[in-house]
Amino acid sequence: MTSFVFVDNRISMSLKTSSHEKIVLKGIMSELRRTCSQILCSAKQLGYSDDDTFAVHLSLEEAVVNAVKHGNRADCSKNVTIEYDITPEKIRITVTDEGGGFEPGDVADPRAGENIYKTGGRGVLLIKSYMDSIEYNQSGNSITMTKINGKLPKQGEIR
């Protein structure tokens, strides 16, 4: 969706106020990172704070790395799909791999004593911590993450 700024009855510029894209890429990290940068740039253009942009960046990177490494087992011939909607109110991103999926409830808590020194298992916790909501599909090969724009007034709050 585009809005227009009118100056002296002329259109002086157009500003993109929302984005929706679905991108299917081979599981090559450099290509996926380019898409991540595109999403973050759109968020910045729509006025998301540095904190919100950082949260989306970290969560998106974790979801993409998990899709490539765990879901697709680092098979570069398999695809990773990133679908996103960005509006001034929220960012909603879905990352889907071609793997068999997993059961999110089976992921061990990396904060538990026996897991403290293990090298894996922190990505899911980070995503849960930084995003406002996350959902997995039934087969566990797709995650949908939502971040609400922190600059918006909370319900009932007047700014």
Q: What is the pLDDT of residue 100?
A: 95
Closest-CA residue to 42 (of 83, 3, 4, 88): 88
On whether residue 8 sits in a domain, the answer given is no
**Residue holding tokens 């071609």?**
98
More confident residue, 95 or 153: 95
Higher pLDDT, 64 or 12: 64
pLDDT in tens, 76-127: 999 999 999 999 999 999 999 999 999 998 988 899 999 899 888 899 999 9
Give the model's confidence band at 4: pLDDT under 50 very low, under 70 low, under 90 confident, else very high.
very low
* 39, part of any domain: yes
Asked whether residue 4 is assigned to any structural domain, the reply reads no
What number of other Cβ atoms are within 10 A of residue 40's Cβ?
18
Tens-place pLDDT, residues 16-57: 678 899 999 998 888 888 999 999 999 999 999 999 999 999
Side chain identity at residue 93, one-letter code: I
The yes-or-no verdict on residue 157 having pLDDT over 90 is no
| DSSP secondary structure letters along 124-142 | HHHHHHHSSEEEE-TTSSE
Predicted confidence at residue 18, as pLDDT, reads 85
Q: H or E segment at 39?
A: helix 29-45
AA identity, residue 118 = K
Give all strands of the β-sheet with 142-148 in edge-to-edge order: 19-26, 79-86, 90-97, 142-148, 133-136
Fill in the DSSP letter of residue 8: T
The CATH code of the domain that includes 34 is: 3.30.565.10
Is 10 domain-assigned?
no
Please report whether residue 25 resides in a domain. Answer: yes
CA distance 145 to 18: 17
